[in-house]
Amino acid sequence: MPTFVFSTDRPTDLDVDVLVLPVFEGPEAGPGVKDVKGIDLLALFSAAGSKGKRGESLLVPNTGDKALRAKAVLLVGVGERSDADPDVCRRAIGRVAHQLAKRKTAATTLPQIVSSKEQVDAVQATVEGVLLGSYRFDRYKSKKDGDASRLGKVTILGAGKADAKASKEAIRRGQVIAESQMWARDLVNTPALDLPPAELAKAAQAMAKEVGITSKVWTEPELKKGGFGGVLGVGQGSIRPPRLIELRYSGGGKGAPIALTGKGIAFDSGGLSIKDATGMEWMKSDMGGAASILGTMRAIALLKPKVNVIAAIPSAENMPSGSAIRPGDVLKHRGGTTSEVLNTDAEGRLVLADSLAFLAEKKPRVIIDTATLTGACMIALGTDIWGAMGNDRELIRDVLAAGDAAGEPGWELPMHEPYRKLIDSDIADIKNIGKRYGGAITAAMFLREFVGDVPWVHLDIAGPAFAERAGDYWPKGATGSPVRALVGYVLSKADGARTS
């Protein structure tokens, strides 16, 4: 991992391998471009056919400008000046992160493209973009690409009047959050064969120990005693038994905690209601919710906000076998509510029912769950946007705001009450499927049955958790989303948090 330093030096004074400078649409010189006098950077950029649009870049070697100490300038298009925001910085640097990884030192003026009010957030986003953009998962490659990042030092250049203390804190935040998000990516990218519930629990406990938070893992007999019929039922078709992972971060004295849970299905074959081959291809990612919560806990533990956070993550493997639950079976969840399982592929809600009920018992101030829950949510919102559904306006508003601020946007879907009857069961308290239409909403309504009167929001991350195509700062595969949004939310609720 490179080290990041903050500086208000002139960009031309930095003796670095590459200096990354933004160009607005026009092309129009971004911060630092005009400081370079001996080379007409903008003319070269134009001559290469570039207009300053996002995605354009041009590497200009320093062939003899003595006043410019950098060995090369990398010009990157950032689009319209008026649209510049922290996410534009994250994406712009993310797109060239692999080029930076080949060099030892780099510097950039990117955060200076935003308004002074957003500078600090832009510094954080730029750090995140460098790290997240250079992520790769090559643990299973016998021949590594050979160009693992060589980047040793990145200088983030702020405007002359920048707040150095706040910027340095932003650098540390960006680093911790990006590293935690990449750790979450690793968990999701790891093949299910190598990450059954017990291994996920081990990884969580190792993390907890490393960052100094308390953990407890519930084994199968303990889950039985505790009445976790949903986790046990979903897991009983697999030879690899389920777990519940409990984590606790205490930074807020006696205050009621923020409670988090995430769907941790090690592999979702669908169970006896089995998926087809293409439907199963990426189902190692069905613990993306769990990974996002674990990544969030890691970041929180390292950033130490003044707030309490607890997590309870259910993990099971959904497999078809002679011991698997059958369509028509009834499970009894933590707290006593019963559910009729009419489709064993609607398993996420069955495991989350238990963890939500368990967390509600602890009287937290809010509960947030993340889950790769429904294909229906992907149909509604596409691959990039998570769906938010809950029982509390303020909480929904706050998580949506945190998502927007972090460049991990969500959108609310309505808890349309007439749909509730779609999950009425003939023989149990509720059934685990509604109709095909509105599937994301009936899934959320199922979850709502288990939170009592605790303010709660459910994030359906079936789309954003896993990318079938590479993006600006993520390769194909796990994204680690929405770690940044969740950490942002928790930090905003800490005592002494920035309120603007």
Q: Which residues are catalytic?
A: 275, 349
- We find the least distance from the C-beta atom of residue 348 to ligand BES, in angstroms, to be 5
Residue type at 75 in one-letter notation: L
- We find the least distance from the C-beta atom of residue 282 to ligand BES, in angstroms, to be 7
Token pair for 396: 């929904």
Contact 261, 230 (CB under 8 A): no
87-95, 162-170, 366-374, 397-405 -> range binding ligand BES (CB under 6 A): 366-374
- Give yes or no for residue 233 binding ligand BES (CB under 6 A): no
- The shares of helix, strand and coil residues in the chain, as percent rounded to the nearest 5, are 40, 20, 40
- Give yes or no for residue 433 binding ligand BES (CB under 6 A): yes
> What SS3 state is found at 24?
strand
Site string for ligand BES, 272-291 (x = CB under 6 A): --------------x-----
- We find the least distance from the C-beta atom of residue 234 to Zn ion, in angstroms, to be 9
Question: Which residue's CB is nearer to ligand BES, number 112 or number 442?
Answer: 442
Q: Give the angle subtended at the CA of 85 by the CAs of 82 and 90, to the nearest 5°.
A: 135
Question: CA–CA separation, 16 vs 151, rounded Å?
Answer: 11
Which of 2, 252, 320, 348 touches Zn ion (CB under 5 A)?
348
Question: Which residue's CB is nearer to Zn ion, number 139 or number 326?
Answer: 326
Question: CA–CA separation, 211 vs 490, rounded Å?
Answer: 17
Number of residues that bind ligand BES (CB under 6 A): 15
- We find the least distance from the C-beta atom of residue 188 to Mn ion, in angstroms, to be 16
Question: Which residue's CB is nearer to ligand BES, number 77 or number 434?
Answer: 434
Query: Is the backbone of residue 390 left (phi > 0), alpha (psi -120 to 50) or beta?
Result: beta
Query: Is the backbone of residue 457 left (phi > 0), alpha (psi -120 to 50) or beta?
Result: beta
Contact 4, 108 (CB under 8 A): no
Strand pairing category for 258-262 and 430-431: unpaired
- Give yes or no for residue 84 binding ligand BES (CB under 6 A): no
Contact 254, 284 (CB under 8 A): no
Question: CA–CA separation, 12 vs 66, rounded Å?
Answer: 10
Q: Would you give the DSSP letter of residue 103? A: S
- Give yes or no for residue 220 binding Zn ion (CB under 5 A): no
Question: Which residue's CB is nearer to ligand BES, number 375 or number 452?
Answer: 375
Residue 453 φ then ψ, to 5°:
-105, 20
Question: CA–CA separation, 469 vs 465, rounded Å?
Answer: 12
- Give yes or no for residue 189 binding ligand BES (CB under 6 A): no
Question: CA–CA separation, 4 vs 466, rounded Å?
Answer: 28
Binding site for Mn ion (CB under 5 A): 268, 345, 347
- Give yes or no for residue 376 binding ligand BES (CB under 6 A): yes
- Residue nearest to Mn ion according to CB distances in the complex: 345
- We find the least distance from the C-beta atom of residue 373 to ligand BES, in angstroms, to be 6
* Residue 439 binds which of Mn ion, Zn ion, ligand BES, none (CB < 5-8 A, kind-dependent): ligand BES
Question: Which residue's CB is nearer to Mn ion, number 170 or number 291?
Answer: 291
- Give yes or no for residue 369 binding Zn ion (CB under 5 A): no
Cβ-based burial of 277 (10 A; exposed 0-12, middle 13-18, buried ≥19): exposed
- Give yes or no for residue 268 binding ligand BES (CB under 6 A): yes
Question: CA–CA separation, 54 vs 482, rounded Å?
Answer: 23
Site string for Zn ion, 230-269 (x = CB under 5 A): -----------------------------------x--x-
Question: Which residue's CB is nearer to Mn ion, number 203 or number 351?
Answer: 351
- We find the least distance from the C-beta atom of residue 232 to ligand BES, in angstroms, to be 17
Query: Is the backbone of residue 306 left (phi > 0), alpha (psi -120 to 50) or beta?
Result: beta
- Give yes or no for residue 286 binding Zn ion (CB under 5 A): yes
Question: Which residue's CB is nearer to ligand BES, number 139 or number 436?
Answer: 436
* Residue 175 binds which of Mn ion, ligand BES, Zn ion, none (CB < 5-8 A, kind-dependent): none
Which residue is it, tokens 């750790």?
A: 183
Q: Among 132, 116, 182, 120, which Cα is nearest to 156's?
A: 120
Integer Rg of the chain from CA: 24
Which of 128, 347, 369, 449 touches ligand BES (CB under 6 A)?
347
Site string for ligand BES, 434-473 (x = CB under 6 A): -----x----------------------x-----------
Question: Which residue's CB is nearer to ligand BES, number 343 or number 425?
Answer: 343
Question: Which residue's CB is nearer to Mn ion, number 246 or number 345?
Answer: 345
Number of C-beta neighbours around residue 214 at 10 A: 12
Which residue is it, tokens 């956070």?
A: 309
* Residue 376 binds which of Mn ion, Zn ion, ligand BES, none (CB < 5-8 A, kind-dependent): ligand BES
Query: Is the backbone of residue 416 left (phi > 0), alpha (psi -120 to 50) or beta?
Result: beta
* Residue 371 binds which of Mn ion, ligand BES, Zn ion, none (CB < 5-8 A, kind-dependent): none
Token pair for 163: 């707040």
* Residue 375 binds which of Mn ion, ligand BES, Zn ion, none (CB < 5-8 A, kind-dependent): ligand BES
Q: Which residues bind Zn ion (CB under 5 A)?
A: 265, 268, 286, 348
Q: Which residues bind ligand BES (CB under 6 A)?
A: 268, 286, 343, 345-348, 372-376, 433, 439, 462
